[in-house]
Amino acid sequence: MERLLAPLRVLRAKLGTLWWHTFLMFCVCRLGDVVNLYIAMVLVPDVLQEAELGSVIPLTKLAVLIGTPLGIIGQTGRKYISVFLVAGDYGKIRRLLRDLGIISSIVSVAIVLVFLVCWPAIQERLKVTSHTHLTAILIAATAIVTCWLPMATMAAQGLKGFYKLTASQIVRPVVRLTVILVALAGLQVAGYLLANVLSMAFVLAFLVVGLVRHFPKGFASRDYRLHVPEMFRYTWPIAALVIVQSLQVAIEPWIVRQRLPLGDSAGYYIAVMFGDIPRWVAPAMLPFMFPLVSERFERGDSTRGLHLQSLGFVLLVGLGMSLFLFFFGEWLLNLRPAWAEYSAYAAFMCPLSVIATADVLFNTHITHENACRRFRYLRFYVPILLCDVGLLYGAMGWALFKKWLPIDIWNTVEAFIHRDLTFILTFMLVARLVLAAFVGLDVIRKRSRGV
């Protein structure tokens, strides 16, 4: 056994902590991706009706928006677990985890109540017609578990339970596939949501059990009151980030579902399933990047090497996949009859892949900056994202402004608007390219300063 493990130990030493665990997570995630790809590209298109297919993405992304308050709490907690870890204050970590659990429980109840009040209006706009009450309950549950899971993940990250994080990626797709096979045909979209909730709940339980068993012994709970003022200073920029990201993630597919025909929203689903492949990079790298960068920063070490390596890795994978989809996208869709029905949407796969690559690139940059307590990027990031979702939503609903604006102004704007998928994706792509330019300038500025 030692002889077999020796080459792996050599490889681990050469790669370093970040890239060793990224390599392991990448391999495990690819196994999970095979399962998820089978679900998304085979089972779902084969089983769901066209009218249901287009609602999958907006309903799942809606949970991200609903869980925004918990996302803010979780991001702040993740940072200070890392801070306390560097200082060896496990007692403070214990108290922080307890407080996060209490606060999150209260916020979770409030989120569910508000969502259920708003559900009838949401249901009408997203054209949900089957199992509506169950769908509402599952979306609320998804929002809660989606936000509790990062808290368990951040605790494992902060305590460097990297192997547990990797193992959890095996549990999730197995549970998800099992539930999908049982529930999808009968419950349609509600079955899809049920599989997501249960798979995340299993991972949450797996991580929590690991934390309880392996949390360092002999450390009594310690007060961290002196850190509260700086926690609040850290929270405000994090809140701005989480809010605008949640809006963008939820609103863009919402617009496609609400404003376009059912066939277009179904075609969008098919195109996204292939175009989103670059997003697979993030789960393999970001869980390990934040605690490692944070630890180096708190010690006063340089983080520039990890930053540039991570950005380069994302670009290499993402742009490579985008080129592949540009040349072979239509060929891919013609491989199966269920996909071939949407071959007209093959041209959208490449731009969606570029959009996904840009989003992962931004998240990589943001993860690095947050770990270093730097938030200058919010000066351009927040306005660009707000303009993206605000102008796009306004443009697709421009008819509503006709009675309030001078007819000449209204007609001038109306002439530029095309209510189709090409217009929406072009708008999304331009917003990403503008943002990429600002991120590039930010990286160059930091390099010139040696940061």
What does the block give as tokens for 384?
A: 């660009």
What does the block give as tokens for 163?
A: 């192997």
Q: Which residue has the higher pLDDT, 1 or 284?
A: 284
pLDDT > 90? residue 421? yes
The pLDDT-based confidence of 307 (bands split at 50, 70, 90) is confident
Mean pLDDT of 225-229: 88
Could you tell me if 91 and 219 are in contact, meaning their C-beta atoms sit under 8 angstroms apart?
A: yes
Which segment of 245-254, 309-318, 415-424 scores lowest on mean pLDDT?
Answer: 309-318
Q: Is residue 277 part of a domain?
A: yes
**For residue 374, how many other CB atoms are within 10 A of its CB?**
15
Euclidean distance between CA atoms 345 and 338, whole angstroms:
13
Can you give the pLDDT at residue 355? 95
- Which residue reads 């989003």 in tokens? 359
Residue 89 phi/psi, 5° resolution? -90, 70
Gap between the terminal Cα atoms of the chain: 43
Residue-wise pLDDT tens digits, 352-365 = 999 999 999 998 89
Q: Is residue 3 part of a domain?
A: no
Euclidean distance between CA atoms 237 and 356, whole angstroms:
24
Q: Is residue 62 part of a domain?
A: yes
- Which residue reads 């796969």 in tokens? 349
Q: Which residues contact 375 (CB under 8 A, 6 or more apart)?
A: 237, 241, 369
Mean pLDDT of 136-154: 81
Count: domains in the chain: 1
Within its chain, how far is the Cα of 264 from the centroid?
23
SS3 letters across the chain: CHHHHHHHHHHHHHHHHHHHHHHHHHHHHHHHHHHHHHHHHHHHHHHCCHHHHCCHHHHHHHHHHHCHHHHHHHHHHHHHHHHHHHHCCHHHHHHHHHHHHHHHHHHHHHHHHHHHHHHHHHHHHCCCCCCHHHHHHHHHHHHHHHHHHHHHHHHHHHCCCHHHHHHHHHHHHHHHHHHHHHHHHHHCHHHHHHHHHHHHHHHHHHHHHHHHHHCCCCCCCCCCHHHHHHHHHHHHHHHHHHHHHHHHHHHHHHHHHHHCCHHHHHHHHHHHHHHCHHHHHHHHHHHHHHHHHHHHHHHCCCCHHHHHHHHHHHHHHHHHHHHHHHHHHHHHHCCCHHHHCCHHHHHHHHHHHHHHHHHHHHHHHHHHHHHCCCCCCHHHHHHHHHHHHHHHHHHHCHHHHCCCCCHHHHHHHHCCCCCCHHHHHHHHHHHHHHHHHHHHHHHHHHHHHCC
Euclidean distance between CA atoms 16 and 153, whole angstroms:
21
Cα–Cα separations (whole angstroms), residue 429 to 93, 299, 348, 420: 41, 38, 11, 15
pLDDT > 90? residue 256? yes
Can you give the pLDDT at residue 13? 65
Q: Is residue 215 part of a domain?
A: yes
Domain that holds residue 401: 10-449
Mean pLDDT of 85-102: 83
423 burial (CB, 10 Å; 0-12 / 13-18 / 19+) is middle
Can you give the pLDDT at residue 214? 62
The pLDDT-based confidence of 222 (bands split at 50, 70, 90) is confident
Q: Is residue 284 part of a domain?
A: yes
Can you give the pLDDT at residue 154? 66
pLDDT > 80? residue 379? yes
Residue-wise pLDDT tens digits, 53-89 = 999 999 999 888 888 888 888 778 877 877 787 777 8
What does the block give as tokens for 81?
A: 């677990």
Nearest to 369 by CA among 318, 433, 309, 443: 443
Could you tell me if 147 and 71 are in contact, meaning their C-beta atoms sit under 8 angstroms apart?
A: yes
Q: Is residue 77 part of a domain?
A: yes
What does the block give as tokens for 252?
A: 């863009």
Residue-wise pLDDT tens digits, 164-210 = 777 777 888 889 999 999 999 889 999 999 999 999 998 888 888 77
Can you give the pLDDT at residue 332? 92
Can you give the pLDDT at residue 208? 80
Angle of CA points 235, 355, 326, to nearest 5°: 165
Euclidean distance between CA atoms 257 and 413, whole angstroms:
22
